[in-house]
Amino acid sequence: MKVICAAVLVVVLASSGTPVLAHHAWPVNMGKLVTVTGTVTRVEWGPPHPMFTIEARAADGRTETWQIGGPAIARMEANGWTKTTLKVGDVVTGTGYQFTDGQRIVRLERVVLSSGKEMRVYAR
């Protein structure tokens, strides 16, 4: 009975850790920064990562929807962010690393607000 309980515990712990490991592996090209300018249409300030959605104008004039994700809220707050730093309707420029599969999702490094103020997510 103890062997079965131990085996079940190992399986539960192993399977619960997999999403955490997968979650922290942002599939981005760390060798290429992208910059996107657009209007904030949605702000999600919650765990595991704050996410911002912006509507941007592509080079050909089409509108594109981009999602920009920050690190953990505690890290963003340590760098001066609050849940009201970005608001729906703000025009911002976000810079970060895009998903390698071409999705319009960016792992945020910094944002330039409409006021011109630069907000970083890492103290670099």
Report domain extents, the chain: 28-120
Q: Summarize pLDDT for 59-74 with one digit per residue, the tens.
A: 899 999 999 999 999 9
Query: Cα separations (Å) of 46 from 9, 51, 59, 83, 101?
Result: 30, 8, 32, 9, 25
CA–CA dist 78, 57 (Å, integer):
31
One of 1.10.540.10, 2.30.31.70, 2.40.50.140, 3.30.70.1560 is the CATH number of 28-120, namely: 2.40.50.140
b/e for 11-41, b at 16 or more Cβ within 10 A?
eeeeeeeeeeeeeeebebeeeeebebebbbe
Q: Summarize pLDDT for 9-46 with one digit per residue, the tens.
A: 333 334 444 344 344 567 888 888 999 999 999 999 99
The model carries a pTM of 0.76
Q: Are 12 and 86 in contact (CB under 8 A)?
A: no
Q: What is the pLDDT of residue 20?
A: 40
